[in-house]
Structure 1
């Protein structure tokens, strides 16, 4: 029997008004589980399995601000939602809770759910027009050129700590490299690097200042659009502006923001999660070192076990419907549980069985809104990890793997730090082996976009490279 807002198949009280009705699995006496807070921070995978046992492939939850929503836990259910935009739309203007005033204006969900004129929040022909502009502009990037470019930045970052014999690979490498790459590929001035890195981290973590951080990013990108209209370069922003889809200024800004934040977040987490697996899983490292598994195959294993985005907010029901035996009401929000779907026992009954090389995971979602820049992210991640392992082959954790701390944000679960030690390199030799073959990327006009010349803060000058200043700024020294 299907439960309604006025009765309950198991005799328990019906959910309060505004809370999604559901058919219980069994059901928790405490009501919907919060998808944020200590329980998620402590062990999100365990929470997903608890919800799966109680509710099946879809579970009622509360998101930030105790707003009711549905968490999609099943692999097939995630594909069903992502592949059927006529039932589950990306248009957040359908969100009933927001339309009826039950989402506070300072809710940290708003920067990632508030409707904007971009392909990620549209369906149908208009979404296709915008997505074609993004994908065709991304496809103009030369993958081999990107790899050479990533190697150069990776080497410079490694040079900054190679002589010390220790480093925090989250703060010193994984959390920095993607932003260095993406700001350049977009065509931004180097001077934006530190502020954009800080703002991006703050926004995706859903802090109290997430809205202000989002505003800073938007302002910086508006300045970029204005500058590139005056002086186009060989970069993503210029290609997007010149595309035949004729995007308006706000459309340009929002798509640049989408690409920047998605690429930074997913690629940084992918690098960190891969390094974490290499350092904590001896079998994984042995297969990689022994040639039984290539680095691209290893990345796919990580994308199954520790996807960069654990969840995606969201989809909205276009009408009353049913999913995995649960009644979904028109305007309900659904959160795609990518990590939970990848661990679904229905498709992975034994999670210890390797799946490296298998790209059928949910890490980049699916359907018409599947991530269009996933191959660029893969190129940045595997090139960066390869450069690091090649130069520092004896990397080892300085703490027990169980002591590592994780931070759970709106979109992801990320390492707070990844402290390692290794044999220090001779300070006199650091950088010398790469100087001839890897000149400063800032001087390579064939690879790098033209820097912003208008609307941006002046590029810092002096004998210290800007990326070293960025690292010092991150570390607070």
Structure 2
């Protein structure tokens, strides 16, 4: 989810795998934090409305490592210091992705709402470690490197145009629900080898799954069925696609493993990329530095996208890492088996390394939006996400050059999540324009 590879801006380490609680668990460890009352709930409207101010307060009151409470009263640590984040994501032996070490498995309430974010059986690349992780990551990277960048751009342009055709004659639309949330997974599905006519249903199912509400399970089942059917098809009839390349180079992993990783990549590549598109368009429509150039140079798109990764990254917080043994981090005593949540957005804004207001402080690659270390979003996936997001923004601005907000900027709201940061809606107006081509009626898994 967490959510995030392809497109992991938020990489980052996805919340896509189904959570379970069936494997033997280590004995529960002590709750993190010196005093339970010091824990901060990892929820609430401030994570949507004013996260920058909230993270400043947390840093001032608790330091770079904050004791937090997850849904159901489950304790964890939120790492918000840049240097501490670098340490956690670099030292894979001390701060591991081996979730079986968690000292809270026996404390989880029934139907824990965060179960889809943290898997115990470790079915996907998200929870493999060491040489096995490196081999699995190599399988994925090799398959993604086979994506032709010109073909990828063409897919993104075609789907972008087809979506814009559905509303360009009306003079108004919601960019989030009718564009940003629909485009990334259509392109990803095409790269995988999913037939075009299954794309709309896959989009709707992924949105249902990530939404985490009443249709989440049905959405997850639909995604699983689609990917398993794809694996079965490509096992017999391979083609020039990501799924076929993974099956041809499994490096000792099974077809089921490949299917799990394709599911992770679909979820990781979809929601964060959709939010990267939405957050970039919000910035360009509300910030004076960009509004004057909406119909002008495309260089402003790249600048806005990079600023979003620093200042408004689609993945705020990621679960996470587990301490392999008792240790200390940021002045805190971390017990073996404690869960550490990666505070990507907070670490990006750490004043210890951000000494001025520049969004480029430390260089373009210094932000944590794609993660860091062994479990960093693979480079091919980052490139794919960037191509999809940048194409989406550029095509929209080319087609609708006078696009403008339909409501005051202060009325825009964020989705209620402490994990992913995206808009609930981005209503816009523009001069109606003719469609480029007749578009098929939109489908949907409902």
**TM-score for the superposition, normalised by structure 2:** 0.87
Q: Structure 2 vs 1, CA of residues 292 and 224 (structure 1 numbering), >3 Å: closer, same or farther?
A: closer
Q: Match for residue 106 of structure 1? A: 111
**Structure-2 separation of matches of 1:414 and 1:206:** 15
**Structure-1 separation of matches of 2:220 and 2:30:** 29
Q: Structure 2 vs 1, CA of residues 39 and 66 (structure 1 numbering), >3 Å: closer, same or farther?
A: farther
2:289 partner SS: helix
The 8 Å contact of residues 203 and 214 in structure 1, kept in 2 or not, is answered as yes
1:96 partner SS: coil
**Structure-2 separation of matches of 1:250 and 1:125:** 19
**Structure-2 separation of matches of 1:65 and 1:208:** 19
Which of 380, 400, 404 is residue 396 of structure 1 equivalent to? 404
Q: Structure 2 vs 1, CA of residues 262 and 412 (structure 1 numbering), >3 Å: closer, same or farther?
A: same
Which of 89, 93, 100 is residue 86 of structure 1 equivalent to? 93
**Structure-2 separation of matches of 1:41 and 1:301:** 18
**Structure-1 separation of matches of 2:148 and 2:416:** 34
**Structure-1 separation of matches of 2:297 and 2:163:** 26
2:364 partner SS: coil
2:50 partner SS: helix
Q: Structure 2 vs 1, CA of residues 85 and 21 (structure 1 numbering), >3 Å: closer, same or farther?
A: same
Please say if 1:221 is aligned against 2:227: yes
The structural deviation recorded for 1:184 is 1.3
The structural deviation recorded for 1:288 is 6.7
Q: Structure 2 vs 1, CA of residues 263 and 175 (structure 1 numbering), >3 Å: closer, same or farther?
A: same
The 8 Å contact of residues 111 and 214 in structure 1, kept in 2 or not, is answered as no
1:350 partner SS: coil
The structural deviation recorded for 1:290 is 6.0
Q: Match for residue 308 of structure 1? A: 314
1:335 partner SS: strand
**Structure-1 separation of matches of 2:161 and 2:114:** 37
RCO higher in structure (CA 8 A, sep ≥6)? 2
**Structure-1 separation of matches of 2:258 and 2:138:** 13
Please say if 1:376 is aligned against 2:349: no
Which of 136, 147, 151 is residue 145 of structure 1 equivalent to? 151
**Structure-2 separation of matches of 1:292 and 1:185:** 26
**Structure-2 separation of matches of 1:196 and 1:409:** 23
When the two chains are superposed, the root-mean-square deviation of aligned CA atoms in Å is 2.4
Gap runs ≥5 in structure 1: 1-15, 433-462
**Aligned length in residues:** 415
Please say if 1:43 is aligned against 2:16: no
* 1:389-434 per-position Cα deviation (integer Å, ceiling 9, x unaligned): 1111111001011101111336301101100001111x4xx216xx
Q: Match for residue 59 of structure 2? A: 52
* 1:243-289 per-position Cα deviation (integer Å, ceiling 9, x unaligned): 15132132111100111000001210111011000000011334676
**Structure-2 separation of matches of 1:341 and 1:285:** 28
**TM-score for the superposition, normalised by structure 1:** 0.81
**Structure-2 separation of matches of 1:408 and 1:36:** 9
**Structure-2 separation of matches of 1:287 and 1:391:** 15
Please say if 1:279 is aligned against 2:252: no
Matches within 5 A, 1:389-428: 389-409=397-417, 411-425=419-433, 427=434
The structural deviation recorded for 1:208 is 5.5
Matches within 5 A, 1:119-134: 119-134=125-140
1:62 partner SS: strand
Q: Match for residue 21 of structure 1? A: 33
